[in-house]
Structure formats: structure tokens, C-alpha cells
Amino acid sequence: MTRFARVAGTGSYLPPKKVANQDLVAQLTARGLESSDEWIVERTGIRFRHFADDGMHASDLAFEASRRCLSAAGKKAQDVDLIIVATSTPDMVFPSTASILQHKLTEAALADGDSVGAAGGAAFDVQAVCSGFVYAMSVANAMIQTGAAQCALVVGAEVFSRILDFNDRTTCVLFGDGAGAVLLEATAHDGDGPGVLATDIHADGKHRAILCTPGTVAGGAVVGSPLLTMDGQAVFKLAVGLLENTARAVLEKAGKTEADVDWLVPHQANIRIMTSTAKKLKLPIERVIVTVDQHGNTSAASIPLAFDHGVRTGQIKPGQIVLMEGVGGGFTWGSALLRL
């Protein structure tokens, strides 16, 4: 019998403030910038995005998604011995957003009458931008396989609205805030049961300049720009090829082919990237979970948001094989193949 990390539950959360394309276009027009709902939809597939209110942090979004995930799994905070949060927009420089999330889950558990919470288990962040959730899944899977963890809460949470340049119409229309979570727990079987079948993660720093937020904190002030910049054409050209490569690599690792994939759950970056990748893998768009129209690019949160949507709507069913993949600044990319 082989040890696997199986998906025990999923959860997601979008902040209440929903911003339609028309709302954003009105703001851009007031700044003297031209845009339109038609232009945004045609180029990106995005119709809405959610923005967190002032005072709402990545850990708050992660907390809501995590509670829904634990509820779906029938688990309590005390069952979790590992928390990994994938985020590029943490609450603070340190401690990690995962540590803050752990404390919030513990406080909520104690308030609900439990004698213990999630405190004591390992908790840390992973920063790989839009590939972050796949990176976090890979790390959590490895720790469960080796016995270092039994029950891992893997979260993607972002408040990208805080780092957007609303004078740049090519980037500010793309991103939104949100969080998604997956609970992985140890199981054992002969290879035909549920679990993470393989993961594949990579990076190449020479492409770092095409998608970045180059500012940092030093001497009590921001040094450099704290706002996101992107070369959209360069990202698109690089992303499609890398997504195809990592998809084929993870399938080969698992001894599977494209024909074995029931659902593709890609990073919800741009509908053109998603459809191009599906076409290269010979997967019809009907087998791709698409939620980008409802929340835009939520970076590390987008894969778990889409995955939770697919599970809760009944599209993704037990026993089916799911391919997750993403690309992000760094440049990073990766994939995970699992059987629900």
C-alpha cells in the first residue's frame, strides 16, 4: 500500500464588494483612460472581480475559505497539523499569513466550545505568485507522503487590489481578491484510490521582469514601486508553452495521458490562455472549469476557487481525475494531478 494525500474537502470565499466591468470603466474614464466592457471581455473573459474592503486582509479571506473547507471535510481545526498559505499579498512582512490564519482558526474553535484549536502544527507561507497554490499543494503532498504531516490545510489567498495601478488600464482590469482552500489528509491504497497522483513545479528567474511588483520596504519606507507591472504579450507567449509542458510532465509522472483527464482546473488568468492550453492538450472547453468571468485573476487563489466551484456544483465528481496548473511571476509554473 502506498501513502497518498487525498482531498478531504474544499472551500472558497470572495469578499462582498463585487465590481463589474462597467464600474471599473467609469473609474478609468474619470482618469482620462479609455476602456469598455466589450474590450475587457473580449481580451480577458472577465466580467466581474471582487475587492476587499479597507481593513480586510489575506488572512481574513483565508479564514473564511478555511472554515468552509473544514466544514465540507467534517473536520475541526484541531485535526490540522500543517497549514500552508500561498500568497503574494501577505498581511505583513512577518509573521506568515499562515501563522495568523492558524491563530484565527484556533480562536474560532475555542469560541465554538472546542477545547483546542490548530495551534502547534507547522504553518508557513509559499510565495510563487499565481503558481503558488500548485507549489503549496506539492509541498503539502510531499510532507504527507513522508509522514511529516497527516492533515494539511492548503490555502491560496490574495488581496491584489492593494497593489494595482489604476492608471494602467492593461493591468488593473485583470485582477481581484479572494481565497480558496483544500484540505489534504493521509490515506493509503494500491494506486487506484483518491489522492494526489503527481506534481510538477519549476521556475526561471531570467523572466522576472515581465511580471513583478518591484518595490520593497527599507528604512521605514517603500523603496521602488509597490504596484504591479506586466508585459502582457510576453507573459501570454511564455505561459501557453510552459502550461503545456508542465501538463505533459505531470501526466507522464503519473503514468497518465490527456485522455485520462476528466477536468482541467487552470489558473484563472485569462480566457485566451486557458482555451489555448486546453486546445494544445486536446481537451474541449466543456472539460475546463472556468470562473475567471466572475472573479478575474485572483493569483494564488484562482485554482482553489475554481476547484471548489467545480466540486460544489457537482461538475467534478469522486473518482474523476483533475489536472491543476498555473504560471506566475518569477517566472514560476507548475501542475498537480489528482483523483478526487
Mean pLDDT, the chain, whole residue set: 96
CA distances from 15 to 50, 72, 140, 265 (A): 6, 20, 26, 22
Tens digits of residue pLDDT in 217-233: 999 999 999 999 999 99
Neighbours of 82 (CB within 10 A): 23
Neighbours of 234 (CB within 10 A): 14
Tens digits of residue pLDDT in 184-203: 999 999 888 999 999 999 99
Task: Please give the DSSP secondary-structure letter assigned to residue 150.
Answer: S
Confidence of residue 296 (pLDDT cuts 50, 70, 90): very high
CA distance 316 to 339: 10
Fold of 195-339: Peroxisomal Thiolase; Chain A, domain 1 (3.40.47)
Confidence of residue 115 (pLDDT cuts 50, 70, 90): confident
CA distance 334 to 250: 9
Catalytic residues: 130, 267, 297
Domain positions in the chain: 2-189, 195-339
CA torsion sign, 253 to 257 to 263 to 267?
Answer: positive
CA distance 3 to 33: 55
Joined together, the cell numbers standing for residue 321 give 481525475
- CATH classification for the domain delimited by 2-189, as one of 1.10.3720.10, 3.30.1330.60, 3.40.47.10, 3.40.50.1470: 3.40.47.10
**pLDDT score, position 335:** 98
CA distance 252 to 245: 11
If DSSP codes are grouped into helix, strand and coil, which group holds residue 299?
Answer: helix
The reply to whether domains 2-189 and 195-339 share a CATH topology is yes
Q: Where are the alpha helices (DSSP H) in 31-129?
A: 37-44, 58-73, 97-111
Q: Quick check: 1 pLDDT over 90?
A: no
**pLDDT score, position 111:** 94
Q: What is the DSSP string of 228-248?
A: -EE-HHHHHHHHHHHHHHHHH
Cβ proximity of 177 and 161 under 8 Å: yes
pTM above 0.85, yes or no: yes
Torsion of CA 257, 263, 269, 272, to 10 degrees: 70
Pairing, β 2-13 against β 151-159: unpaired
Joined together, the cell numbers standing for residue 4 give 497518498
CA atoms within 13 A on the CB side of 257: 2
285-310 mean pLDDT: 98
Residue 318, preceding bond cis, omega within 30 degrees? no
CA distance 87 to 161: 13
What is the edge-to-edge ordering of all strands in the sheet holding 321-328?
Answer: 195-203, 332-339, 321-328, 263-266
Confidence of residue 86 (pLDDT cuts 50, 70, 90): very high
Cβ proximity of 273 and 297 under 8 Å: no
Q: Quick check: 117 pLDDT over 90?
A: no
**pLDDT score, position 322:** 98
